[in-house]
Structure 1
Amino acid sequence: MNTALPFVDWFRHSSPYINAHRGRTFVILIEGEGMVCDHGEQLVQDLALLHTLGVRLVVVFGIRPQVQTALSEAGIEPQRHEGRWIADASIMAHVERVAAEQRLWLEARLSLGLPNTPLHGIELTAVSGNLVMAKPLGVRGGIDFDHSGEVRRVRSVAIEGLLDQGAMPVLPPLGYSSTGEVFDLEAAEVAQQVAVALKADKLILLGDAEGLHDDQGRLLRQMSPAEAEPQRRQADVDSEISRHLSAACAAARHGVARTHLVSWRDRDALLGELFTRDGVGTMITQHRYEQLRPAELGDVAGLLELLEPLEARGMLVARSRERLEHEIDDYLVIERDGMIIGCAALHTYPDEAMGELACVAVHDDYRGGKRGEMLLTEVERRARRQGMTRLFALTTHTSHWFFEHGFQLADLADLPTLKRDTYNQARRSKILLKSLG
């Protein structure tokens, strides 16, 4: 039984996401490398699972490595310019053949319903077709790109109709023109344009890299398009990360709520990104999913859950629901994807122009990210706006943190009269004071 407990715990914590994702539209790009060997089989099974959970899926697949292999075997070396190969007739013959083979492979796997497989009993209708219209890149820098093209229009009404019928549109990196021509497209651009046209809730880009990293090699969990742009500009124009960042930033700027960069190399990446609070890759979004804001009455339950372990350890004075509701306007919270992970309060004593920094708390899982400093900075800003000239705090466990942020030891006589009269002698809290001048 014990071996099942971690799974049960994960399942309980994933339930809010299962509910939140039901009925949502996700556009998922699987790059060509992710379609081979066991990686592709696992991804197909995860797509089927998402489908059974009520997610409306559009799948875009890449074929770059497969086409490159086919060209090498045929002794064809494509001419490249600005990160794209020039798709002449000989290259297009291979592009079209490989795209058809990959689409058939994917549709066959999505139809697999054998006993003892994760897809047993699941019926998926995968549909492809002329759902993306294209136009030629034309002549650029004196180079005629021939049948290399770009997306002109996405037939969003047709795709929405398929989704409404419970089907899963499967789109190759090909586009069609009104004159009956076929064009080679970038898979990442197709995914981005489809996500924007459908006003998708998520665009998920499964590539080689797990996401973006900072200068110390640490994974960046969340970035805005503006924050991601420098990395895009530094990347090689022909690199996968350049294509993915271009798609992610453009999608975010055009209304796609969240774009996720995750790796097909991690067999758990897709589900881990969607059903855990922190995910496993990098999310590009215009809207912060972790924000510092004033507390609201609806946050009281989250505050109680955050504070209870600290109160049990004697680090904080116990606060009742009624007290939190009464003082809610004094509180700031850090909310992360619907969960309260940090808080602080400012209680003011206007007659003495003093404020109390109280109830500073950060969830154990989210310490070390300077969230305490963020709360302190905002409390100080709020105190100054209200005319406070000094800030005090009472603590039994964390005096060194306050010392590091400019507080000094003080005496009982330094407290406002009302606070001095209610000081709990049994707790013997250290009194710390900081000037806001």
Structure 2
Amino acid sequence: MTTSGRAHIRWFRNTAPYINLHRGKTFVLMLGGEVAQHENFPNIIHDIALLKSLGVKLVLIHGSRPQIAERLATAGLETSFHRDIRITDTDTLEHVKDAAGSLRAQIEALLSMGLPNSPMQGSHMRVCSGNFVTARPIGVVDGIDFQHTGKVRRIDAEGIHRQLRDDAIVLLSPLGYSPTGEIFNLGLEDIAVNCAAAICADKLILFSGEAGITDSKGELIRQLSLSDIEALPAADAEQGTLLHTAREACVQGVPRCQVISYRDDCALLEELFTHDGSGTLVANVDYENSRQADIDDVGGILELIEPLEQQGILRKRSRELLENEIDRFRLLERDGRTIACAALYPFPEDNCGELACIVTHPDYRGGKRAQRLLAELEQEARSMGLTRVFVLSTQTAHWFLEQGFTESERNELPGERQALYNLQRNSKVFFKPV
């Protein structure tokens, strides 16, 4: 087998935890009309088929804004907007229905493919569309009558769940229906947020023209909390809409929203089946959680510290010793994986504490995670009434100096710690007031 072949097999092996994690979960995918126009759209459909085959329950919500614009331009009709919302008069509504129906049929056809020697071979997917969205008119706003433009009134969550239990993919168009038989043109984002919340979806996945949400320098932001969104200026109108949609979904109880590219092949699979993903995660809870370690975390901590023990950077700790001292450790976990740890050993009679085992996984260095754990343990030391913390280091002296530590003499250590000092390691001593 070639090196490349082994690499692919290792990658596939590493996806196993995510396959198990996602099986049986419900994902809502918001596909704007621009997605269907892009050359990568068939590949996205193939990836959707793969998710389905891996046991993920899927609700697809498609938009049709560019398709509507094309039809209106061909018909010589102009569209009026107010507050960036299309005013749908009677003539416009006919083109809205035509665009939505045509695109829905196109997606259903793609999901029905089963050609031999293609990614869709043997997929046999059933797609269900229907009147799952009850709508109401927006009405008159600022003196403007929006006519046939509406808002979501209710989502038939039980009807959608019934189809998902019957192993179907649910496909929703940007149309809603009233109890009086009217049809309304709805915003794609309005349907996506309300549907994801109503069916208690595990994820809402939003497709973007970019890799995800970017900062002022154009660099991809991997993770955002709700408070981060409040302070983040949108780079453009599309990003502003995506941020607002993700925020609204999280506020309504959707645990995670993920913004990924529809232009990049395999972005959906990379986002769902690799540690760092391909786009931006917006979570209504911290994606990286700091917490007190417990006995079940011993294996993850050993995995972090053993390479540094072998290099002589850390002193050797046996599993038995670590189990006995586990209550001294704090850790940072990312999506259930331990990516950093640190420990605090108090010496209350000397009003100080030792910080030890401050380690970050090599894949996650550079994100100030060690500084975060250091600050949390300093706060813990203060809460114990300690006035100073110290570290012993052989190879990371400069880092501790940068964190405000000062090199000190060995005889400043607590007597108990001096008795355990390893002369062979000859570690330098650093103190810091807290």
Tell me which interval the TM-score lies in, with the shorter structure as reference length: over 0.9
TM-score by length of 1: 0.96
Out of 332, 356, 359, the residue aligned to residue 358 of structure 1 is: 356
SS in 2 for 1:267: coil
Residues 387-424 of structure 1 show CA distances to partners (whole Å, capped at 9, x for unaligned) of: 22221111111000111112122222111112111111
SS in 2 for 1:101: helix
**2:303 maps to what in 1?**
305
Output the CA distance in 2 between the equivalents of 1:227 and 1:411: 43
Out of 264, 274, 283, the residue aligned to residue 285 of structure 1 is: 283
Shift of 1:37: 4.2
Output the CA distance in 2 between the equivalents of 1:376 and 1:245: 32
**2:73 maps to what in 1?**
72
**1:429 maps to what in 2?**
427
Pairing 1:140–2:141 present? yes
Shift of 1:243: 2.9
Output the CA distance in 2 between the equivalents of 1:178 and 1:229: 37
**TM alignment of 1:6-405, pairs within 5 A:** 6-231=7-232, 239-405=237-403
Aligned residues: 433
The residue type equivalent to 1:2 in the other structure is T
Shift of 1:231: 4.1
SS in 1 for 2:212: coil
Output the CA distance in 2 between the equivalents of 1:39 and 1:75: 30
SS in 2 for 1:150: strand
Segments of 4+ in structure 1 off by > 4 A?
Answer: none
Output the CA distance in 2 between the equivalents of 1:242 and 1:165: 36
SS in 1 for 2:421: coil
Unaligned runs of 5+ in 2: none
SS in 1 for 2:15: helix
Shift of 1:230: 4.2
The residue type equivalent to 1:157 in the other structure is E
Residues 8-62 of structure 1 show CA distances to partners (whole Å, capped at 9, x for unaligned) of: 2222222111101000000001111111243210111011000000000000011
Output the CA distance in 2 between the equivalents of 1:323 and 1:216: 46
Output the CA distance in 2 between the equivalents of 1:133 and 1:243: 23
Output the CA distance in 1 between the equivalents of 2:7 and 2:308: 24
Output the CA distance in 2 between the equivalents of 1:235 and 1:302: 38
SS in 2 for 1:347: strand
Output the CA distance in 2 between the equivalents of 1:153 and 1:317: 61
Range with greater deviation from structure 2 (208-217 or 326-335) = 208-217
Output the CA distance in 1 between the equivalents of 2:120 and 2:314: 50
Output the CA distance in 2 between the equivalents of 1:187 and 1:334: 37
Is the alpha carbon distance of 1:360 and 1:83 closer, same or farther for their aligned partners in structure 2, counting shifts above 3 Å?
same
SS in 1 for 2:39: helix
The residue type equivalent to 1:401 in the other structure is W
% same residue: 45
Output the CA distance in 1 between the equivalents of 2:29 and 2:172: 10
SS in 2 for 1:379: helix
Output the CA distance in 1 between the equivalents of 2:109 and 2:65: 21
Output the CA distance in 2 between the equivalents of 1:140 and 1:351: 69
